[in-house]
Structure 1
Amino acid sequence: MAVVVVSCATRQSGLVVGEEPITAEMVLIDSPLSGSLGGGDVSQREILLLSTEMTAFLDKHIDRDANQNLKLAQLIYAVIGEDRFLLSYDDSTRTAAGTFASRRGNCISFTNMFVAMARDVGLKVNFQEVDIPPDWSMTGETVLLSQHVNALVDMKSALSRVVDFNTLEYNVKNEARVISDERARAHFFNNIGVEHMLADESGRAFANFQQSIKEDESFSPAWVNMGILHRREGYPSHAEVAYMEALEHDKLNLMAMSNLANLYEEQGKPEQARWYLSKVQSHRMKNPYYRYQLANTAFNEGDYREAIKNLKMAIRQRDDDDRLYFLLSLSYLMSGDKAESQRWMQKAEEVAEQTEDQKKYHHKLDLLRNPGSGL
């Protein structure tokens, strides 16, 4: 799910706005990009609104008089059991009904669908934000940073249950927090805004970023994207204010800092650019997953010593992620140190919580101990 755009190409020269200082309210309400468009692509109500087909599906597969445990089991089985629903994951952001009809979407799309259906059959369910390792992807000259959302079902008499349709993104060790429906809608409209921005539909992008901020003014990714949009369209002063507003709500928002640094570099303000770049670099080097990304790059380039250095630093900061130990084991193996490779592969197996991961590492450890076939 792409929710924060890291950097973009600049299309026009900057705009000088007389002597009147630009405020966050002006960016949000009186922007030169606002035009006649207002509100997001859909209404608030539409996001979780059930279609008649969804209601019929629930009536067919769910016993509405059953207890919570059974209803949850029936709902999950109806949606993902026996491949009857055939969900396909893509980058599109859809409403609950849109996801049900197309059987496609991203984590917000599927979570919208599940939350709407679960609430309709009487389950208490909330949205969750999940902290996942940073995942950057390229779209032309734009870099996207993904975040993750799933659902948490309150089972009252039992432990709460997490429902996540993207098992590749979810790890039980990742920190998560319940969020309000308003913040979930902020995620939704922000995503839609990104889709429009990538399609060069600036008016619609602005309207959806605006709606995202109206849903939750403290949602800093939408402020960052609002800044990126204005910078792309040639309004650097508005962009600067939007980035600063993002930092007001999240002082450690590295995307806001990075974009400010790029903006100041373009404007010939090297001291300000260096100040923000140094803060970005300082915080990133303290992030175990940034170290993991550096290690991955070094590994792929054959610099195993550099990979090992970054992985050991990452493990000092987070010692409960088996992926770090696994890559460290591979790095030692490729550098020719089989004993260290075995030691760290065993550690990966110990740290792994999921049975399938433990089996995977156990198998690779056996291969290291008894060479004869590849990893």
Structure 2
Amino acid sequence: MSLLESYAEVAGADVIAQLRQLAATLKGAKVVHINSTHVGGGVAEILSKLIPLKQELGIDTRWEVITGDSEFFECTKGIHNTLQGNRIPLGESLLRVYEATNAHNAETLRPVLKDADFVFIHDPQPAPLLKFFPERKGKWVWRCHIDASHPYRPVWKYLRQFVAPYDASIFSLAAFAKELPHPQYLIAPSIDPLSDKNVDLKPDVIQQTCDKYRLDCERPLVVQVSRYDRFKDPIGVIQAYHLAKQYLPTLQLVLAGGGATDDPEGEAVLSEVQAAAGDDPDAHVLLLPSDAHLEINALQRAADIVLQKSIREGFGLTVTEAMWKGKPVIGGDVGGIRLQVINHHTGFLVNTPEGAALRTRYLLHQPEMIAAMGGKAQAFVCENFLITRHLREYLTLMVALLHGAQDRIELN
């Protein structure tokens, strides 16, 4: 069975047939995706699944990663944070490092990019690359995975000079889109239902993971899975847990996450979280390796409720993963979480630790509500957020760019 055909059991045979039809007009096209890390975070996870699927459809697809030193990633983390609302000016010296690093990467990648039919540049880290390809052959698309709805304007103005010349841009939500002189597309991220992180697990595998981390499966458990990033508000999660535990003394918490090679703040945030958790034996702060997919899967399946109390969020694939496993999610009322958590149906949206604690208590006292919300959540993901839908929208975008302003496109 081919990779594509293996998805037919989940998404349906007609979906796979549609993908093949769309890809037929793109067969042989050279496509390059570029980001700043192979591991850590949702972008890398998505690309690791999309690339082989495009290749199987006959599209010559590559994934390249730019490199940089600590100053470069300090700058790009600053850009990331300011696009999400932090009002922190970036020093001129860091911006010069940012541009020089992209210039160096442009020369390294020139043999790959100069003849590409489509180039997808992911997020701010490699955004200036286009500047160094005035003779480009193909279409270049900037893909923004960040909640850029309320950016710090001086930094967005600086970044916009690099983004405006692209042929198109992609955002996850309409609220994130910016005023740009080219077509903008809305494509929500997705999960791979057949990956280790999302595949069904036998009960004994879940039990083994709980035993490893000294979790009692007979007691209520709430879990948040995310990078140790202040925008994920892990400190707020611990505060919510402490508030809820006053009324639910048997409650357990797991904060599970890892690092990303392009995030220099992770270690500092992890230290803050460990200090906030203190010596509470029921508050488990786990630093997991990037390939701990089965363990994350097991922890989410063991949970009664999954939290994602972000204060900024481009999309929140951990929300999608939890909902796919039939879990209600208590999430921050921000960004892409709003697209997934339908308040009172697939979970609850909250703005404060107090709100998260209140909803946790409410659900844990009503197991029938947990089951009903979980069922709705799984169905919602199946209809809207699987990798096959994501791939279809990428293919549709490429076909549209290939045919330009034509009113009608015929797919044979």
TM-score by length of 1: 0.27
Structure 1 or 2, whichever has the larger Rg, is: 1
More helix by share: 1
TM-score by length of 2: 0.25
